[in-house]
Structure 1
């Protein structure tokens, strides 16, 4: 006597892990707008506004990460200039940038990177390899990947 199955044919699950970027280096931005320590803060403000970005890495002539400058750093400069009645032209990026920069490993899983964003309350992390800036990942990059993953793994 043959036993019949009422489950029906099972759909073969496709291996989609190769299609989905899981590492930070797969989703990081490589075409970065960077700043130099000697640039004026006014130049930075103009670049931020023109490119609709909120900050960027500061690199030296060897493309080594030396800091990060953000809208907030520029706002502080504007506020202090006004308060002390000092011209903005005398200030440069090196005086205003954050020098103690936290980076993220390009081989880190994007979901682990999401947790790092939550813990640190940062908007972006530079990725450095062999001392050189190779990219940057933002919260928005992680959100884009999450939406891709949603289509493959979430119901």
Structure 2
């Protein structure tokens, strides 16, 4: 069995120029937690997940660098969590997304797909054919397909 046998062909995506606001709206409205980011040629250029967003808002400090001395970092965000979250909504998603995207070819064997999902601790893998996005596979897809004939 290969990736194309179990992948979902309808993939919710974002464009590399979209804002975090539009991605969060897709997460909420579509009930998803991650999606591939594509360019105008349907090439996968990044991936963004709820984990990427959590790491960004959890660690990010809004700072400015004093250009006179090049070493002084001045904290400028003391407004709290809600203010920090509000400020990042208009960022372009390419600013916080994962640039190194785990993906598989449409003819990848399912055992290899399972290995990547399990060993890399990721939830979904974009599937590409000839360099273009053609589908997506989740851990649930692999489990359902792998065990359905055995139960």
Give the TM-score, by structure 2 length: 0.76
Q: After superposition, what is the alpha-carbon deviation per residue over 1:23-54, rounded to whole angstroms, capped at 9, x for unaligned? A: 11111011010001111112111211211111
Structure number with bigger Rg: 1
Quote the offset at 1:129 in angstroms.
1.4
For this pair of structures, how many residues does the alignment match?
A: 130
The alignment partner of 2:127 has SS state of strand
Query: Do residues 135 (structure 1) and 135 (structure 2) align?
Result: yes
TM-score when normalising by structure 1: 0.75
Q: CA deviation at 1:88?
A: 2.2
Residue 81 of structure 1 and its aligned partner are, at CA, apart by 7.1
1:101 corresponds to 2:101: yes
Instruction: Write the distance in 2 (CA, Å) between the matches of 1:89 and 1:146.
Output: 39
Are the aligned partners of 1:45 and 1:74 in contact in 2 as well (CA < 8 Å)? no
Which structure ranks higher in relative contact order (CA pairs < 8 Å, sequence separation ≥ 6)? Answer: 2
Q: 1:81 to 1:30 in 2, by over 3 A?
A: farther
Greater strand content = 2
Q: Is the 8 A contact 1:81 1:88 kept in 2?
A: no
How far is 1:89 from its partner? 3.9
1:93 Cα deviation after fit: 0.7
Q: Which moved more, 1:82-91 or 1:40-49?
A: 82-91
Q: Residues 114 and 142 of structure 2 are in contact (CA less than 8 Å); yes or no, is this contact kept in structure 1? A: yes
**SS of alignment partner, residue 101 of structure 2:** coil
Structure 2 counterpart of 1:66, from 45, 58, 70 = 45
Whether 2:4 is the aligned partner of 1:32: answer: no
Measured in 2, the distance between the counterparts of 1:81 and 1:129 equals: 39
1:1-150 equivalence runs, <5 A = 22-79=1-58, 80=60, 84=77, 87-150=87-150
C-alpha contact 1:37 1:92 (8 A) present in aligned 2: yes
Q: In 2, distance between residues paired with 1:49 and 1:65?
A: 22
